[in-house]
């Protein structure tokens, strides 16, 4: 720790702090453009100038100077930093004036207006007028894809976007060409950005140079209602803020949550909002003569109730989709058990996970933040870049900053870091378990090995054996640190861990999702937002969900539900963290919250669910499953489960691993309804096809 | 400095010649594993040298590929440094120093000559022979004003001599590199004004002590001949290290480097290299063929 005096107040800060961090610790605000906590230090905007005694006799860029580089006074006094002296004021005004020389005064037509760092800081630290009468610099706009809109005349060359794209996403496509006044931020020959995290440059850009293309000229930040919520596009449960105007979600932004997404979100999370408006089921439908016709709620519910009442309970079943919140899953299970139906499954993809094996058998046990502690990482049957881009950025950081070795078993892919491809199938996994492969030594020498199992590796007939082999790998390491459980299951569905926690798997002798969907499997199938599975002809299908996707096309009765931004619900992410998604808007038309539909249905079938409000439902849920009560906390799995899992064994088929996600942009009904995602997907597939030629 | 962007018309492809490829691999090998990107400037420079003095876009891609760099990083380097020409240049590419000493000594008038004979900066004459660019200090201030044409300096220029020089180059006639007024290096105009005493150079006053080395060497050689020869053969470096460490070792190391230079220079065709005695006139037909 080092002592330093900031504006007269002495503070004790770690020696590796920069002056800027020390000033923040002392409560002094330092304006900045290029500095960002999660990126490398560039020191090129000069906005953070401060005056120091014990350093150079000139204004010092506080972001780029370490506290330890300051000299003490002649009698050993701590170095003195002043952030409010006349010299600092003059320096800031000077820098601001220079920045504004070439910055256009187009705030009224700029999408950044109202949330612009330059605008705010010009108000706080600038002067009122300009002494610059010459022509301003003009720069041609760049076309860097359908997501990021550029107005490069506004660029102040902070290079945050360049550093983010290079360091965090690992797809170094942005750069600064030319120099001096001719410097321009661009991609190589203006090719489109290809990272799954590119949307974050919009947030990083302190001015309006990089803005959201789909959101362009849609709304002003001050007219939006902001709701803190949780993302469901992947199983990470990134913290998001949903900005809505009236009934429409206008945009989605990340919130800071160091435990999960830090402050990044994937492009699917950010730009899926137009999918919330399209293809919506806004009224009940009933199929008559092969065609769906609009119906009223009583009619639709009566039809479903009649079907359920007249059908043998062993011939009824429910399949739960990937975006369902815990409340409706709990209500559905409750309803079915009241009816005496045991056929229920939340594993549309047929993942061989059984909650009976213990919670540790299906969680990302080390925790998402645990990636920062892992000292060897093995990825089995997954492409984290597509299945959880934000997590992939964390793995990349471990590889880049700490030199953690990463092994990959499964499909070859550009993961943005140097993953050693060990093999494609289970044979390589066995080699590792038996210690025959060179990477086994890496794992054995690690005290915190992380074995990441993708959803694709489990959703296969020998999935249980794969999981067992992975558990053996995670366990068989001698140097394992105390309390470290390295088995990390990366789910692809946001609802999956919650569903497994609630026990939404078929009971004794009951049918799995695949059996239910098979021809002759069921007479009545209830799909709670299940769109990734095709129910064979013959069954009467009730679809309860928000979007007209595969499930709705197959349905005989459609009960319109709410999307994730339209209901308050609990979601459990892949590491077992219980999080609350809040309602930002109301469901469209006659659509209702899913649990309320189930409650209404329960009345009609004569098995009334004993909760009349979401609060009561949640209370019942927490009473039955206490860990759901601890929001934002992770109830850790029992390490003993790991040993049992490791002993389970099983025969491996020898097949190659296939990833759960092949088309990043189209993994769920909301994304498939989104025109932006469709465009991105087409672009991606097009570039893949081009690369293959 | 003008805006530096890629030329609109680009060749379809770029490939290093076998010689240059070998040279490039030698450059890359200089750097430790994982630091190959350090060779980006030498490689771009070589690519430019091979490609008639300007750097095409395929070459940028090729260099990025060779060094395992993101292509935008190479692009950043290529657009940053003014020594990389991103657009075609004349066969004789004139870099005219416009920095203070040259400006004081009449660089402005040389620019007028350029404008008259060639046109504006970065403009290649119709015959493809000449183009010019104003650059910052080239470090020959004592001989100001000066220009660099391809790999050679032409110093002590006057508008007349510069014009004649450009005409000679255009016509493919032999030209003199270095000072155009005939002085040696940056010796004073009109002959030496100090240190004119002949005895300074005959070894009688200054440098006489140097003869000690040759005498000692003779003695050493005589002794070595008398001593046991096998022992000396086993440690051939012992003698050199023992008696005169620098005087012997230095020239031996430096020689190959000196020998390489003419070869390098001659890659730019049409440039007689007078310094090494090659006074044959350039063959103007080479370029077109």
List chain B residues with CB under 8 Å of A152: none
Given this model, what pLDDT does residue A454 score? Answer: 95
Q: Is the dihedral of CA A635, A638, A642, A645 positive or negative?
A: negative
Taking CB atoms and an 8 Å limit, are B1 and A176 in contact across chains?
no
Q: DSSP secondary structure string, B222-250?
A: HHHHHS-HHHHHH-THHHHHHH-HHHHHH
A342 touches chain B (CB under 8 A): no
Looking at chain A, which residue has its C-alpha nearest residue B84? Answer: A178
Residue B241 to chain A, least CA–CA distance (Å): 44
Question: Which string of b and e fits A361-378 if b means at least 16 CB within 10 Å?
Answer: bbbbbbbbebbbbbbbbb
pLDDT at position A189 over 50: yes
- For residue A499, give the H/E element and its range: helix A496-501
pLDDT at position B289 over 70: no
A152 or B256: which leads in pLDDT: A152
Among A530, A598, A542, A587, residue whose Cα is nearest residue A564: A587
Given this model, what pLDDT does residue A130 score? Answer: 86
A72 or B289: which leads in pLDDT: A72
Torsion of CA A108, A110, A114, A119, to 10 degrees: -90
Give the integer Cα–Cα distance in Å for A138 and A148: 19
Q: CATH 1.10.10.1590 in chain B: give the residue spans.
A: 18-80
Which residues does A244 contact at the CB level (< 8 Å), separation at least 6?
A224, A225, A227, A250, A565, A584, A585
pLDDT at position B240 over 80: no
Taking CB atoms and an 8 Å limit, are B72 and A187 in contact across chains?
yes
Given this model, what pLDDT does residue B215 score? Answer: 83
Taking CB atoms and an 8 Å limit, are A175 and B4 in contact across chains?
no
Dmax over CA atoms of chain B, in Å, equals: 74
Mutation target to probe the B interface, by most B beta carbons within 10 A, among A177, A194, A414 is A177
pLDDT in tens, A132-146: 999 999 999 999 999
E-only strand ranges, A529-658: 540-545, 557-560, 569-572, 578-581
A629 touches chain B (CB under 8 A): no
Looking at chain A, which residue has its C-alpha nearest residue B4? Answer: A178
Taking CB atoms and an 8 Å limit, are A189 and B57 in contact across chains?
yes
Phi, psi for B117 (deg, rounded to 5): -85, -30
Q: CATH 3.40.30.10 in chain B: give the residue spans.
A: 92-179
Contact by Cβ (8 Å): A387, A455: yes
Given this model, what pLDDT does residue A637 score? Answer: 85
Give mean pLDDT, residues A632-643: 88
pLDDT at position B141 over 80: yes
Residue B76 to chain A, least CA–CA distance (Å): 5
Given this model, what pLDDT does residue B227 score? Answer: 66
pLDDT in tens, B168-201: 999 999 999 999 998 888 888 888 888 888 888 8
Give mean pLDDT, residues A277-300: 95
CATH superfamily of B92-179: Glutaredoxin (3.40.30.10)
Token reading at A395? 């793995």
How large is the ipTM? 0.91
Mean pLDDT estimate for chain A: 93
List chain A residues with CB under 8 Å of B79: 177-179
List chain A residues with CB under 8 Å of B87: none
Model's pTM, two decimal places? 0.88
List chain B residues with CB under 8 Å of A180: 1
List chain B residues with CB under 8 Å of A186: 72
Looking at chain A, which residue has its C-alpha nearest residue B75? Answer: A177
DSSP summary character for residue A18: B
Given this model, what pLDDT does residue B288 score? Answer: 41
Name residue A408's beta-bridge partners. Answer: A379, A421
pLDDT at position B287 over 70: no
pLDDT at position A196 over 60: yes
Phi, psi for A350 (deg, rounded to 5): 75, 25
3-state SS class at A381: coil
pLDDT in tens, A426-484: 999 999 988 899 999 898 888 899 999 999 999 999 999 999 999 988 886 665 677 88
pLDDT at position B234 over 90: no
List chain A residues with CB under 8 Å of B80: 177-179
Residue A171 to chain B, least CA–CA distance (Å): 8
Taking CB atoms and an 8 Å limit, are B4 and A178 in contact across chains?
yes
Given this model, what pLDDT does residue B278 score? Answer: 39
A650 touches chain B (CB under 8 A): no
Mean pLDDT estimate for chain B: 81
pLDDT in tens, A61-111: 999 999 999 988 889 889 999 999 999 999 999 999 999 999 999 999 999
Give the integer Cα–Cα distance in Å for A647 and A129: 75
DSSP summary character for residue A603: H
pLDDT in tens, A1-15: 899 999 999 999 999
Among A539, A535, A538, residue whose Cα is nearest residue A524: A539
CATH superfamily of B18-80: NADH-quinone oxidoreductase subunit E (1.10.10.1590)
pLDDT at position A402 over 90: yes
Taking CB atoms and an 8 Å limit, are A188 and B75 in contact across chains?
yes
């Amino acid at each position: 720790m080092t002592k330093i005096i900031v504006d007269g107040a002495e503070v004790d800060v770690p020696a590796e702090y920069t002056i800027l961090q020390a000033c923040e610790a002392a409560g002094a605000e330092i304006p900045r453009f290029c500095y960002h906590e999660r990126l490398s230090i560039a020191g090129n905007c000069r906005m953070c100038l401060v005056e120091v005694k014990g350093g150079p006799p000139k204004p010092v860029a506080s972001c780029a100077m370490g506290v330890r580089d300051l000299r003490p006074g002649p009698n050993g006094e701590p170095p003195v930093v002043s952030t409010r002296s006349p010299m600092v004021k003059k320096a800031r005004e000077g820098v601001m004036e220079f920045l504004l020389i070439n910055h256009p005064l187009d705030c009224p037509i700029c999408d950044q207006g109202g949330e612009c760092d330059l605008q705010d800081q010009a108000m706080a630290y600038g002067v009122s007028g300009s002494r610059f009468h010459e022509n301003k610099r003009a720069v041609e706009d760049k076309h860097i894809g359908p997501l990021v809109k550029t107005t490069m005349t506004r660029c102040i060359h902070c290079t945050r976007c360049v550093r983010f794209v290079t360091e965090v996403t690992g797809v170094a496509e942005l750069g600064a060409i030319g120099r001096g006044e001719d410097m321009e931020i661009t991609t190589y020959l203006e090719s489109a950005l290809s990272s799954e995290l590119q949307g974050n440059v919009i947030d990083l850009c302190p001015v309006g140079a990089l803005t959201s293309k789909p959101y362009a000229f849609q709304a002003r930040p001050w007219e939006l209602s902001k709701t803190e919520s949780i993302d469901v596009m992947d199983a990470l449960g990134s913290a998001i803020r949903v900005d809505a105007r009236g009934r429409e979600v206008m945009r989605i932004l990340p919130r800071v949550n160091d435990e999960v997404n830090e402050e990044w979100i994937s492009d699917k999370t950010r730009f899926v909002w137009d999918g919330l408006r399209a293809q919506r089921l806004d009224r009940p439908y009933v199929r008559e003569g092969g065609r769906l016709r609009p119906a009223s709620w009583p009619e639709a519910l009566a039809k479903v109730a009649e079907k359920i009442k007249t059908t043998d309970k062993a011939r009824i079943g429910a399949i739960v989709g990937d975006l369902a919140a815990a409340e409706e899953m709990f209500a559905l299970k409750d309803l079915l058990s009241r009816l005496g139906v045991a056929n229920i499954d939340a594993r549309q993809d047929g993942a061989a996970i059984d909650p009976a094996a213990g919670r540790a058998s299906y969680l990302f046990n080390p925790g998402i933040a645990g990636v920062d502690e892992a000292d060897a990482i093995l990825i089995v049957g997954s492409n984290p870049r597509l299945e959880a881009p934000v997590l992939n950025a964390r793995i990349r950081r471990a590889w880049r900053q700490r030199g953690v070795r990463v092994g990959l078993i499964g499909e070859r892919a550009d993961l943005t870091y140097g993953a050693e491809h060990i093999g494609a199938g289970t044979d390589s996994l066995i080699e590792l378990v038996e210690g025959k492969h060179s990477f086994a030594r890496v794992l054995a020498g690690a005290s915190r090995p992380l074995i990441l199992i993708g959803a694709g590796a489990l959703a296969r007939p020998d999935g249980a054996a794969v999981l067992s082999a992975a558990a053996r790998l995670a366990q068989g390491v001698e140097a394992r640190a105390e309390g470290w459980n390295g088995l990390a299951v990366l789910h692809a569905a946001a609802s999956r861990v919650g569903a497994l926690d609630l026990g939404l798997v078929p009971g004794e002798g009951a049918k799995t999702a695949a059996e239910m969907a098979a021809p002759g499997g069921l007479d009545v199938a209830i799909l709670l937002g299940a769109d990734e599975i095709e129910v064979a002809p013959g069954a009467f299908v009730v679809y309860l969900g928000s979007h007209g996707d595969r499930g709705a096309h197959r349905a005989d009765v459609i009960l319109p539900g709410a999307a994730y931004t339209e209901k308050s619900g609990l979601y459990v992410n892949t590491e077992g963290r219980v999080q609350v998604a809040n309602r930002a808007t109301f469901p469209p038309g006659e659509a209702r919250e899913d649990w309320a539909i189930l409650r209404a249905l329960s009345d009609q079938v004569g098995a009334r669910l004993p909760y009349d409000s979401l609060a009561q439902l949640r209370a019942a849920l927490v009473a039955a499953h206490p860990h759901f009560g601890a929001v934002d906390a992770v109830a850790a799995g029992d390490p003993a489960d790991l040993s049992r899992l490791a002993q389970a064994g099983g025969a491996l088929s020898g097949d190659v691993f296939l990833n759960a996600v092949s088309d990043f942009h189209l993994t769920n009904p909301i994304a498939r309804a989104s025109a932006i995602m469709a465009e991105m997907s087409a672009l991606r597939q097009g570039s893949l096809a081009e690369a293959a030629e | 400095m003008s805006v530096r962007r890629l030329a609109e018309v680009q060749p379809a492809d770029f490939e290093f010649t076998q010689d240059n490829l070998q040279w490039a691999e030698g450059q890359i090998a200089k750097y430790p594993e994982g630091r190959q990107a350090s060779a980006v400037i030498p490689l771009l420079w070589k690519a430019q040298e091979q490609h008639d003095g300007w750097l095409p876009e395929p070459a940028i891609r090729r260099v990025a590929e060779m060094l395992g760099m993101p292509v935008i990083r190479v692009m950043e380097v290529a657009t940053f440094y003014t020594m990389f020409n991103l657009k075609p240049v004349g066969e004789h590419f004139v870099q005219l120093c416009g920095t203070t000493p040259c400006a004081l000594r009449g660089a402005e008038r040389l620019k007028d000559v350029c404008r008259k004979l060639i046109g504006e900066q970065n403009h290649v004459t119709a015959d493809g022979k000449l183009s010019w660019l104003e650059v910052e200090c080239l470090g020959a201030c004592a001989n100001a004003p000066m220009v660099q044409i391809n790999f050679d300096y032409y110093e002590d220029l006057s508008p007349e001599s510069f014009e004649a020089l450009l005409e000679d180059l255009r016509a493919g006639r032999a030209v003199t590199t270095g000072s155009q007024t005939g002085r040696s290096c940056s010796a004073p105009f009109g002959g030496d004004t100090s240190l004119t005493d002949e005895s300074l150079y005959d070894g009688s006053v200054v440098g006489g002590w140097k003869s000690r080395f040759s005498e000692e060497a003779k003695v050493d050689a005589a002794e070595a001949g008398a001593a046991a020869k096998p022992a000396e053969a086993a440690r051939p470096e012992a003698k050199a290290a023992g008696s005169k460490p620098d005087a012997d070792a230095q020239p031996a190391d430096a020689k190959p480097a000196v020998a390489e230079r003419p070869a390098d220079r001659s890659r730019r065709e049409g440039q007689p290299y007078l310094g090494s005695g090659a006074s044959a006139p350039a063959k103007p037909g080479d370029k077109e063929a």
